[in-house]
């Protein structure tokens, strides 16, 4: 089902070329595309409390060389909003991702980039065996693999009483959300607070903070994703391995995700790249050109490496 592009977002330098929906189990996801439908597919996945709009500038920059696909994660934006907490577990979000790519690119693998909890849910998909034929590369920004982090924490210390205390504090469950420090996230912060935070911590005018009209339900969905997954994977981590090439974009001044957490994935990824950028958590908004360059350069390097492998 096609829809008319939405022009209400002041950050939209270029509106999506196409819009559609993808049916998933018990829900429908709103999908947005930029660029030539015949070009190499690149999927961008947003984090909690955001929508596809966080990628607008990155998508516009990459649309000359890629078919750029974004979608509103379940509970966010124009996508369906299930109420049950299990509907927001990582395995369900990964199934949503595969439903999107099976629809937009059923015959060829896709490149993917996730930001924040968008990266966390793509990690779940990348560590699935089917990723070997469906995902060509993965760029993670501000989002480590929760199971890898859980194993790291388990290895360096016994399960702390602090984590178990946090499990009983519902207010803290918001601290994984994308767009505010924990102190602010203890309340249902309005868009003007988020805009102020991006202006102060990100150094960009608040007019560029891509606040959607659905921010109330986006916040609720983000809370559900964090509650359904954070402590579940940190306290009971699984062995999660992948052969997909992975690039970690480490924003070295991120106040939410310490750079050392990315080190936890090294033993579990066969082909791992690390790109450090001296920027804050909101890279897709504050540094879209750097993000676009990091993704494009990574894909180009992979193509060049594949070209050097002798063909039978």
**HEC string for the chain:** CCCCCCCCCCCCCCCCCEEEEEEECCEEEEEEEECCCCCEEEEEECCCCCCHHHHHHHHHHHCCCEEEEEECCCCCCCCCCCCCHHHHCHHHHHHHHHHHHHHHCCCCCEEEEEECHHHHHHHHHHCCCCHHHHEEEEEEECCCCHHHHHHHHHHHCCCCHHHHHHCCCHHHHHHHCCCCCHHHHCCCCCHHHHHHHHHHHHCCCHHHCCCCCCHHHHHHHHHHHHHHHHHHHHHCCCCCCECCCEEEEEECCCCCCCHHHHHHHHHHECCEEEEEECCCCCHHHHCHHHHHHHHHHHHHHHHHHHHCCCCC
Residue 239: phi and psi, rounded to 5, are -75, 120
Q: Is the model more confident about 118 or about 193?
A: 118
Q: Is residue 75 over pLDDT 80?
A: yes
Nearest to 122 by CA among 136, 106, 143: 143
Residue 309 Cα to chain centre, angstroms: 31
Asked if pLDDT for residue 100 goes beyond 70, the answer is yes
Going by pLDDT thresholds of 50, 70 and 90, the confidence category of residue 166 is: very low
DSSP code, position 196: H
84-97: average pLDDT: 96
pLDDT confidence tier of residue 11, bands split at 50, 70 and 90: very low
Provide the pLDDT for residue 63: 96
Among 12-21, 82-91, 98-107, 220-229, the range scoring the smallest mean pLDDT is: 12-21
- Mean pLDDT, residues 50-54: 92
Predicted pLDDT at 62: 97
CB of 180 within 8 A of CB of 280?
no
Average pLDDT in the chain: 81
Name the DSSP class of 21.
Answer: E
> In terms of pLDDT, which residue wins out, 253 or 250?
250
Percent of the chain with pLDDT over 90: 59
Compute the average pLDDT of residues 215-227.
Answer: 90
In this prediction, residue 124 carries a pLDDT of: 98
User: What residues have CB less than 8 Å from 296, skipping those under 6 apart?
Assistant: 62, 65
Query: What is the number of other CB atoms lying within 10 angstroms of the CB of residue 10?
Result: 11
Q: Look at 7-11, 223-227, 259-263, 299-303 and tell me which has the smallest mean pLDDT.
A: 7-11
Residue whose C-alpha is closest to residue 177's, from 253, 282, 274: 282
At 237 the pLDDT is 95
**Kind plus residue range of the DSSP H or E element containing 28:** strand 27-34
Q: Enter the pTM of the model.
A: 0.81
In sign, the C-alpha dihedral spanning 75, 254, 246, 304 is positive
Closest CA to 64 of 24, 30, 101, 14: 14
- Residue 13, pLDDT score: 53
User: Residue 84 has which token pair?
Assistant: 């049950």
Q: CB–CB of 21/31 below 8 Å?
A: yes
Measuring CA to CA, which residue among 88, 111, 95, 100 is closest to residue 42? 111
């Amino acid at each position: 089902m096609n829809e008319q592009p939405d022009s209400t977002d002041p950050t939209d330098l270029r509106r999506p070329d196409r819009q559609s929906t993808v049916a998933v189990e018990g829900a429908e996801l709103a999908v947005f595309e930029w660029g030539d439908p015949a070009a190499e597919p690149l999927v961008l996945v947003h984090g909690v409390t955001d929508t596809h709009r966080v990628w607008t500038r990155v998508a516009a920059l990459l649309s000359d060389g890629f078919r750029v696909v974004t979608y509103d994660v379940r509970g966010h934006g124009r996508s369906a909003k299930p109420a049950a907490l299990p509907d927001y577990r990582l395995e369900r979000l990964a199934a949503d991702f595969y439903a999107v790519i099976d629809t937009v690119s059923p015959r060829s693998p896709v490149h993917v980039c996730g930001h924040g909890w968008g990266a966390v849910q793509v990690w779940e998909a990348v560590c699935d065996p089917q990723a070997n034929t469906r995902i060509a590369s993965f760029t993670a920004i501000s989002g480590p693999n929760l199971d890898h982090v859980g194993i790291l924490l388990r290895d360096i210390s016994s399960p702390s009483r602090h984590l178990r205390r946090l499990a009983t504090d519902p207010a803290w469950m918001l601290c994984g959300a994308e767009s505010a420090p924990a102190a602010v996230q203890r309340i249902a912060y309005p868009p003007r607070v988020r805009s102020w935070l991006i202006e102060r911590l990100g150094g960009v005018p608040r007019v560029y903070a891509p606040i959607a009209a659905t921010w109330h339900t986006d916040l609720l969905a983000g809370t559900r994703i964090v509650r359904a997954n954070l402590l579940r994977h940190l306290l009971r981590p699984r062995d999660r391995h992948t052969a997909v090439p992975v690039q970690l974009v480490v924003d070295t001044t991120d106040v939410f995700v310490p750079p050392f957490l990315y080190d936890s994935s090294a033993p579990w990824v066969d082909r791992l790249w690390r790109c450090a950028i001296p920027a804050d958590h909101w890279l897709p908004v504050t540094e879209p050109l750097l993000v676009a360059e990091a993704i494009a350069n990574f894909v180009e390097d992979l193509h060049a490496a594949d070209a050097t492998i002798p063909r039978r």
